[in-house]
Amino acid sequence: MSTRAWGILTVLLAIVVIVLAWFLITTPASAPTIPVSQSTSTPTAPREGPPVSSSTAPLDTQVSVTMPLPNAIVGHTFDITGTAPNQWYFEAVFPIQVRDANDDLVGNSQGHAQSDWTKPGLVAFTSQITIDASYQGPANLIILKDNPSGLPQNIDSVTIPIVVQ
């Protein structure tokens, strides 16, 4: 075959490739359709692990503070332990405050999740808080739901009376 024949054959082959490429690019792919009456769900295996609490009780009633107990006498530095619903946490923490009888802030801290706070259910927390050294007397320990949105409908708290000595 002559050089001229090879040249013509190469040009024709290039034209065919360009036409096919153009056709593939400009023609939309048609997805297979599933009839509406056909079910596409598949059965799933039973969930393993502990059952998830499906309590419909308000979140604040699910908060449990095991230390300090209501009306406990505490020092200026004390530990706080308990459990709170996972929705109370943001980035594994939530705010804790101590307010005096005049509702002035005399101490604050954060409750820290002791396990995976992203899983549904109650999550244990711990904290240590230090109260203003000049304050003694009745106070309120306030466990606050973290509310990064600032929306009023997301505000929730639990108040526990204590006495600072």
Q: Read off φ and ψ for residue 141, nearest 5 degrees.
A: -90, 120
Residues 6+ apart with CB under 8 A from 72: 162, 163
Assess contact for 160 and 140: CB atoms under 8 A. Answer: yes
pLDDT in tens, 74-103: 999 999 999 999 999 999 999 999 999 999
pLDDT for the residue numbered 27: 67
Q: Given pLDDT bands bounded at 50, 70 and 90, which one contains residue 25?
A: confident
pLDDT for the residue numbered 56: 54
pLDDT in tens, 116-152: 999 999 999 999 999 999 999 999 999 999 999 999 9
pTM of the entire structure?
Answer: 0.64
Q: Is residue 143 exposed (0-12), middle (13-18) or buried (19+ Cβ within 10 Å)?
A: buried
CA-closest candidate to residue 156, choices 13, 147, 69, 165: 147
pLDDT for the residue numbered 19: 79
Alpha-carbon distance 25 to 111, whole Å? 57
Alpha-carbon distance 81 to 122, whole Å? 13
CA-closest candidate to residue 121, choices 43, 47, 44: 47
CATH topology (fold) of 59-164: Immunoglobulin-like (2.60.40)
Average pLDDT, the chain: 82
Residue boundaries of the structural domains of the chain: 59-164
> What are the CA-CA distances from residue 115 to residues 16, 23, 51 (Å)?
63, 56, 16
